[in-house]
Structure 1
């Protein structure tokens, strides 16, 4: 759909009246996702299913209880008991080589395990396969 000035003004009016994205889409003969996308690009948003202007959202968020800042997740590398001599460069991998990455991809000594793969179409050798497909810990199963 092409959003000309007339359509945009009608969209804003419908939105201010509290019409749903589905109802607006039916008026324009387009999809609900197209309407929602245009509303987002115009700086309009939803709050619990009701239309909300971005300016109103800033006011409502300032009255809310502040949330602590999110910390970036820490990625821990699992130690791999592979000798450095077994590291294989990407260009040296064969169809039967284990493709388990070893080291930091940005460093010069980055490589792959290179050991013979497990039988079948698995990309890893038996020892790397145990790392890649580790079962979920019992404590994690109870939480979910």
Structure 2
């Protein structure tokens, strides 16, 4: 059913009288409650609080129960001091039995054993850690010794040894290092060389021209075998 001007005026009058949307729908006929609410909203009518919520709030509010009378307070009791208890004597420690030390074979005084057991701690890898009582005092360092050069053997007493070498004397070895009279030349060096003039002639030899060089001797037995 369409909304005519007459039905709109009826809706306005019943809305202003305070009728609910369901009552207005029943009076108009042919419309639902939601249609009445939507039309009132579109017409800009004044909104009203929901009667259902107000009724529910009144029903949900509990009634106040009469206050129960408070019990009468008991009269204060006089404080009676408690009698002091006698202090119990501390327990006496039990004496430990004395352990007799075994006699020493040389007749010396026996060394008393400590009462506390020795705790051994095993560290990673199986080694035994030292306790505070097992650590020894640090050993003081020995006094510095004065290095005294060894006396040379009689074979090289007046010859140049390894300790006597420098840049100004010849370093040509004389003899075999395993022999007791092994020494060095000791003469003045040839300027710019580590040896003297005589030993420079033996250490540095000029090569012959390429055409006058002798071929190397043939290897024995016809040369090396090729496998």
TM-score, normalised to structure 2, is 0.21
Q: Which has the higher helix share?
A: 1
Higher relative contact order (CA 8 A, sep 6+): 1
Q: Which has the higher strand share?
A: 1
TM-score, normalised to structure 1, is 0.33
